[in-house]
Structure 1
């Protein structure tokens, strides 16, 4: 079932602070909240469990958040939180480090150690909460990397951000249970990123190294789908592995490399074909954008996957909410804000500005 939505929108203003604190304490961890002066308390959260992790999309009001030693002594679940930040700026302090978290950054918080957050305005984030035991790293490693930002524009930060966005989308439909493998991929890739930052990659279990490598390979492919000349040799060389080993990695997941690339290209083409903002573009232009420049080949493989050639499919298929454009660029395959696109209608004003 979809995740549950918790919001201050229907709570009387005088009770919003207490309500929002209870929501944060129940779903994340016990904290002290101090609202910003002359700033209304308006918060929104969607939360759901995927396997052994908890996934949350959160719009937080301005103010101070503190997890104190006293609160930790009362209840210490021994958990960590991976945060992918989407909008607004906040100051995060933990383990004698202080950073300004910017949109796109990926950070780690340890709920067993004191921390504080300062928000001068509302912020939006996706969180993954997990037991410390799930992260296959020595606690000393995590202690070194709390309040350290992984930039989301490239590298491990971009990969983690993309995976967490996929998890966040599942909060709005019935795919939570089916995304257990994806939730474990988030954990493994994040562990690999931390291990790489501290030169402890060899300490990772083999499955975590394989998952992290697959995530990097798939992100590379996504970023190069527009290149019709993309080859297995190019992909293998970019990751310092043999073509044979590349094929083995995909075979372990029940697919071929070429098949996975073809599926991703066709999915991108389908989205553009059904995007009202692209009605003026020809089928050939759309196929070429995603690395399928030969019209006859594009028509044949599209019909094999979706049951009709692209032109006919475009004429006869109508998507829900088709008045909205879903433009997507080949060079930025994983950088859309899942919170913006998945917000509940009742809270749209909260996310877009003052109601």
Structure 2
């Protein structure tokens, strides 16, 4: 067995989640990497690997069973998972759930290309749903392209891309958000939304609203009314959701738009773009209003901020 593949096999067999046997048609050419993030009770890993297989047998389960669910989010390539007499072929943006307590087989990469994805591992008892019901979804493709699935796939993508930016307290809070999303995703596919606690439903709804706002920040007509209508709730309900945010809906929208302006002003690739064009893009059409709002938020004018962060691209404000 090639030394590199042997090291990968040993790591997965002894240290990751639960013992599995790993196979590879080309051990000498094998390449693999794992980057992990612990979010309290939830463990997330970004995994890239050459084509390989893995299986967990009844004997392995008798030797060690941590009773964990695993959600595999496929971002590149194809992955197949077999469990409970079901077979799922996972395409990019698909997610598949499986359980350590029963035998399963995994195959990644049906070509010579490496696969890349995110693995989420969490205790079965973490979900406020009966495990027997959740197990109905094992080895079943769950779309990450729409609805709750799109929320969780977007969350996982941003999480692994910015893993080095999170402190201990950040990771604990992110773990709670991910737990809520996992619960909502599974409840949705089980038609078990009524089993969710009100606080979980509210947190997931708030995250849906946040995502919607982020996607529509350039829309000058974005307002509490359009946001509420898009989510099938009343404006009053929307304002109640934001009571935990320390800002009104309008204030939160403005803060997100200002942050986008700040980011663009510090981007070297946008150094030749006039400040007023950046402000207008993010729905600040009036120069004086934008300057006052930006200065109040960051303590310096837009011109000064750009000068500090882009000394080679000093541009004047064009009203």
2:20 pairs, out of 31, 41, 53, with 31
1:161 pairs, out of 144, 153, 177, with 153
Residues 153, 286 of structure 1: alpha-carbon distance in 2 compared, 3 angstrom cutoff: farther
Aligned length: 307
With a CA cutoff of 8 Å and minimum separation of 6, indicate the structure with the bigger relative contact order: 1
Q: 3-state DSSP class of the match of 1:236?
A: helix
Aligned position for 2:6? 18
CA contact (8 A) 1:20 1:43 kept: yes
Residues 151, 298 of structure 1: alpha-carbon distance in 2 compared, 3 angstrom cutoff: farther
Answer yes or no: is 1:50 the counterpart of 2:76: no
Query: TM-score scaled to structure 1, two decimals?
Result: 0.80
CA contact (8 A) 1:141 1:195 kept: no
Residues 200, 260 of structure 1: alpha-carbon distance in 2 compared, 3 angstrom cutoff: same
Aligned position for 1:69? 58
Aligned position for 1:325? none
What is the alpha-carbon distance in structure 2 between the residues aligned to residue 90 and residue 274 of structure 1?
40
Aligned position for 1:41? 30
Aligned position for 1:151? 143
1:107 pairs, out of 74, 83, 96, with 96
Query: TM-score scaled to structure 2, two decimals?
Result: 0.88
In the TM superposition, what whole-angstrom CA distance separates every residue of 1:137-169 from its partner, at most 9, and x where no partner exists? 111232111222332233212111222234324
Residues 296, 90 of structure 1: alpha-carbon distance in 2 compared, 3 angstrom cutoff: same
104-113 vs 195-204, which moves further: 104-113
Deviation, structure 1 residue 318 = 5.6
Question: Which ranges in structure 2 are unaligned for 5 or more consecutive residues?
Answer: 312-319
CA contact (8 A) 1:92 1:98 kept: yes
What is the alpha-carbon distance in structure 2 between the residues aligned to residue 96 and residue 294 of structure 1?
62
CA contact (8 A) 1:56 1:128 kept: yes
Aligned position for 1:209? 201
Aligned position for 2:316? none
1:1-355 matches, cutoff 5 A: 14-25=2-13, 26-37=15-26, 40-120=29-109, 121-169=113-161, 171-317=163-309
Deviation, structure 1 residue 33 = 0.5
What is the alpha-carbon distance in structure 1 between the residues aligned to residue 28 and residue 284 of structure 2?
51
Deviation, structure 1 residue 299 = 1.9
Deviation, structure 1 residue 291 = 2.5
Deviation, structure 1 residue 170 = 5.0
In the TM superposition, what whole-angstrom CA distance separates every residue of 1:48-80 from its partner, at most 9, and x where no partner exists? 322221121211221111122221121110111
Q: 3-state DSSP class of the match of 1:27?
A: coil
What is the alpha-carbon distance in structure 2 between the residues aligned to residue 150 and residue 297 of structure 1?
45
96-105 vs 134-143, which moves further: 96-105
CA contact (8 A) 2:134 2:190 kept: no
What is the alpha-carbon distance in structure 1 between the residues aligned to residue 87 and residue 180 of structure 2?
26
Q: 3-state DSSP class of the match of 2:297?
A: helix
Q: 3-state DSSP class of the match of 2:4?
A: helix
Moved beyond 3 Å, runs of 4+: none
CA contact (8 A) 2:187 2:193 kept: yes
What is the alpha-carbon distance in structure 1 between the residues aligned to residue 257 and residue 142 of structure 2?
28
What is the alpha-carbon distance in structure 2 between the residues aligned to residue 171 and residue 77 of structure 1?
25
Deviation, structure 1 residue 225 = 0.9
Q: CA RMSD in A?
A: 2.1
What is the alpha-carbon distance in structure 1 between the residues aligned to residue 120 and residue 301 of structure 2?
40
Residues 101, 280 of structure 1: alpha-carbon distance in 2 compared, 3 angstrom cutoff: farther
Residues 107, 287 of structure 1: alpha-carbon distance in 2 compared, 3 angstrom cutoff: farther
Question: Which ranges in structure 1 are unaligned for 5 or more consecutive residues?
Answer: 1-12, 320-355
CA contact (8 A) 1:163 1:182 kept: no
